[in-house]
């Protein structure tokens, strides 16, 4: 029974992500989540204490779904240790995040909502800080060129590139985005 409940909860949170991406935080209601998940009205209210709980769990779920699989991590660990490999790694990350368009758009909605909800802001701040720290630890263990500041600069740069790609896709062509990735890595990451 617990497994079924976990599966239902995950389906509801995934539905919440879709609603957030499509309708924004104001459109996120238990009724909208129930409709998106195709479950009886009232189901979401049985799984989440309140709307803040649903928002928080949606944010956590986006990060869970964005995590690379073990095969990707193994391939990255086996790759070279130069700037071209670094650029390829960044292209892969941007591709993975962009492929989950609704997740990233939902995350943007959650960030905006966090400016009005201190508890959500606290949860998202902890989650994003943990993500930055995990990227720094991965980078240090990987032997890739560059330092912690380069990693932080690339995170900031590519987060905005992803926003452009998902919200205003015609600002930069695909070729321009590829060139931006290459140039950012080349200019920010120093070979040691």
Higher pLDDT, 154 or 60: 154
Angle at alpha carbon of residue 183, lines to 91 and 145, rounded to 5°? 75
How do residues 150-172 score in pLDDT, each as one tens digit?
999 999 999 999 999 999 999 99
So where are the chain's domains?
2-188
Give the Cα separation of 105 and 163 in Å (integer). Answer: 8
Region 38-64 average pLDDT: 94
Q: Which two tokens stand for residue 47?
A: 């799984």
In this structure, which CATH number among 1.10.357.10, 1.10.3720.10, 3.30.160.270, 3.40.710.10 belongs to the domain 2-188? 1.10.357.10
How confident is the prediction for the chain on average, in pLDDT? 93
Per DSSP, 67 falls in state S
CB 46 within 8 A of CB 5: no
Give the Cα separation of 136 and 133 in Å (integer). Answer: 5
**CA distances, 27 to each of 9, 15, 18, 45 (Å):** 19, 12, 11, 16
Of 2-11, 35-44, 111-120, the one with minimum mean pLDDT is 2-11
Per DSSP, 51 falls in state H
pTM of the shown model: 0.89
pLDDT tier for residue 191 given thresholds of 50, 70 and 90: confident
Region 129-134 average pLDDT: 95
């Amino acid at each position: 029974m617990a497994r079924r409940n976990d599966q239902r909860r995950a389906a509801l949170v995934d539905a919440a992500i879709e609603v957030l991406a499509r309708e924004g935080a104001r459109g996120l209601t238990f009724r909208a989540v129930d409709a998106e998940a195709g479950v009886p009205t009232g189901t979401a209210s049985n799984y989440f204490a309140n709307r803040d709980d649903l928002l928080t769990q949606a944010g956590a779920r986006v990060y869970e779904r964005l995590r690379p699989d073990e095969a990707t991590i193994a391939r990255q660990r086996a790759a070279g240790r130069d700037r071209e490999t670094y650029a390829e790694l960044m292209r892969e990350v941007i591709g993975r995040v962009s492929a989950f368009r609704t997740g990233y758009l939902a995350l943007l909605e959650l960030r905006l909502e966090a400016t009005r909800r201190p508890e959500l802001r606290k949860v998202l701040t902890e989650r994003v800080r943990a993500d930055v720290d995990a990227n720094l630890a991965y980078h240090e263990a990987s032997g890739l060129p560059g330092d912690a500041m380069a990693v932080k600069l690339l995170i900031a740069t590519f987060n905005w590139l992803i926003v452009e790609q998902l919200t205003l896709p015609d600002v930069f062509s695909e070729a321009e985005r590829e060139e931006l990735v290459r140039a950012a890595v080349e200019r920010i990451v120093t070979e040691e």
